[in-house]
Amino acid sequence: MTNSVRIPDEQNIPMAVEAGFSALTFDGLVGLFATRELPADARGRIAAEVRAVADDATGQLLSPGGAAEFAASIEAQRAKIAAIATNAWTRIH
């Protein structure tokens, strides 16, 4: 499991960090994209509806945030994957 936080229903699955692979810790990112022109009240309504459905149906650990947090999470994972790929490339060449 690559999550940084253990999922309560998955106690028997080892986490990447427990297996000695802390660099492979990634939390899943799920988000919606919209045009910048989407009014703030519409964004808020959509976000509330998505959270309500996700809280009720998915069994996931949610960390709801806004557009800035989502963009920062995407960039952090992109940079982490790029570093891993560069390291792997360097090792084989």
User: How far is residue 15's CA from residue 7's CA, in Å, rounded to a whole number?
Assistant: 10
* Residue 15, in any domain of the structure: no
Q: Is residue 13 in some structural domain?
A: no
In a domain, 47, yes or no: yes
Number of domains comprising the chain: 1
Q: How far is CA 21 from the centre of its chain?
A: 18
Sequence-distant (≥ 6) Cβ neighbours of residue 5 within 8 angstroms: 27, 61
Return d(Cα 79, Cα 71) in angstroms, integer.
12
82 in a structural domain: yes
- The reported pTM is 0.68
Query: Does residue 6 fall inside a structural domain?
Result: no
Question: How many other CB atoms are there within 10 angstroms of residue 41's CB atom?
Answer: 8
Tell whether 2 is covered by a domain: no
What gap in Å lies between CA 32 and CA 46, rounded to an integer?
9
Give a yes or no: residue 69 inside a domain. yes
Domain of 88, in residue numbers:
22-92
pLDDT tens, the chain, 93 aa long? 888 888 777 888 889 999 998 888 888 887 888 898 999 999 989 988 888 887 665 566 677 777 788 889 999 999 999 999 999 999 998
